Chains A and B, each alone.
Chain A
Amino acid sequence: MNTRKLAVFLMWLLSLVLMACGGAPSQPSEPTPQAPAETQGAPVETQAPAKGKIVISNWDAYMPGDLLEKFTAETGIQVELALHATNEEIVGKLVASKGKGFDVVFMTGQFADAMAKMGLLSEIDYTKLPNSANLFEEVKRIPFTKYAVPYTWGTTGLCYRSDLVNYEPDSWYDLLKPKPELVGKITMLSTDRWLLLPAQKALGFSANTTDEQEMQQVKELLIEAKKTLLAYDNTTFYSKLVSGEALLVEAWDGWCNYGIAENPDIRFVIPKEGSDLWVDAMVIPAPSENKEAAYAFIDYVLRPEIGTWVAENILYKVPSRAVMEKLSPDLLNSFPNLAIPPGELLKQEALQDVGEAQSLYSAIVAEVLASE
Chain B
Amino acid sequence: MVSPILLLGPALTWLVIFLVFPLALIFVYSFLQRSPFGQIVFQPSLDNYLRLFNPTVLRVFLNSLRIAFIVTLLALLLGYPTAYFISSQPSRWKNTLLVLVILPFWTSYLIRTYAWIVLLNREGVLSRFLLGLGLIREPISFLYNDTAIVIGLLYGYLPFMVLPLYSSIERLSPELREASFDLGAPPLRTFWHITLPLTLRGIVTGAIFVFVPSLGNFFVPELLGGGQRFMIGNMINNQFLQARNWPYGSAMAFGVMAIVLALLFFQAWVTRRTEQV
| Docked complex: B16-73 residues within 8 A CB-CB of A | 16-17, 21, 34-39, 56-57, 59-60, 63
CB within 8 Å for A117 and B17 given contacts A5-B5, A231-B143: no
Interface check A191, CB cutoff 8 A: yes
CB < 8 Å: which of B122, B144, B222, B242 contacts A365? B242
Residue of A nearest to B4 (CB): A2
B residues in contact with A20, CB < 8 Å: 17
Contact of B16 with A17 in the complex, beta carbons under 8 Å: yes
Name the A residues within 8 Å of B180 (CB-CB): none
**Which residue in A118, A230, A244 is a CB contact (below 8 Å) of B226?**
A230
Q: Give chain B residues whose Cβ lies under 8 Å from the Cβ of A9.
A: 5, 9
B103 at the interface (CB under 8 A from A): no
Answer whether A21 and B21 are a contact pair too, CB < 8 Å, given A13-B12, A366-B238. Answer: yes
Contacting pair A86 B1 (CB below 8 A): no
List, in ascending order, chain B residues with CB within 8 A of A73's CB.
none
- State which residues 351-369 of A face B: CB under 8 Å: 353, 355-356, 358-359, 361-363, 365-367, 369
Q: B216-242, CB under 8 A of A: which get 1 and which 0?
A: 000000100011101000110011111
Among listed A87-95, A257-265, A318-326, interface-contacting one: A87-95
Cβ contact of A370, chosen from B56, B117, B245, cutoff 8 A: B56
- Number of A interface residues, CB 8 Å? 48
Closest CB of chain B to A288's CB: distance in Å? 19
Residue picked from A9, A114, A190, A245, most chain B C-beta under 10 Å: A245
Q: Please give the distance in Å from A62's CB to the nearest CB on chain B.
A: 19
Does A243 reach chain B (CB closer than 8 Å)? Answer: yes
B141 in the interface (beta carbon within 8 A):
yes
Instruction: State A233–B227 Cα separation when bound (angstroms).
Output: 7
Report yes or no: B37 in contact with A114, Cβ–Cβ below 8 A.
yes
Q: Quick one: given A114-B37, A353-B37, are A229 and B244 in contact (CB under 8 Å)?
A: no
Contact between chains at B38 and A89 (CB < 8 Å): no
B60 A362 Cβ-Cβ under 8 A: no
Q: Which residues of A contact B59 (CB under 8 A)?
A: 370
Question: Which residue of A is nearest B223, CB measured?
Answer: A236
Please report which residues of chain A, range 238-263, place their CB below 8 angstroms from some CB of chain B when the two chains form the complex.
240, 243-245
Does chain A have a CB within 8 A of B178? Answer: no
A74 interfacial by beta-carbon distance below 8 Å: no
B242 contacts which chain A residues (CB < 8 A)?
88, 191-192, 362, 365
Q: A229–B35 Cα gap in the complex (Å)?
A: 34
Interface residues of B (CB under 8 A from A): 1, 4-5, 9, 12-13, 16-17, 21, 34-39, 56-57, 59-60, 63, 117, 121-123, 141, 143-144, 222, 226-228, 230, 234-235, 238-245
Ranked 6 nearest A-B pairs via Cβ: A231-B226, A232-B227, A362-B243, A88-B241, A369-B230, A355-B36
CB pairs A–B below 8 angstroms (11 shown): A5-B1, A95-B38, A118-B35, A192-B243, A232-B228, A355-B37, A356-B36, A358-B38, A365-B243, A367-B56, A369-B228
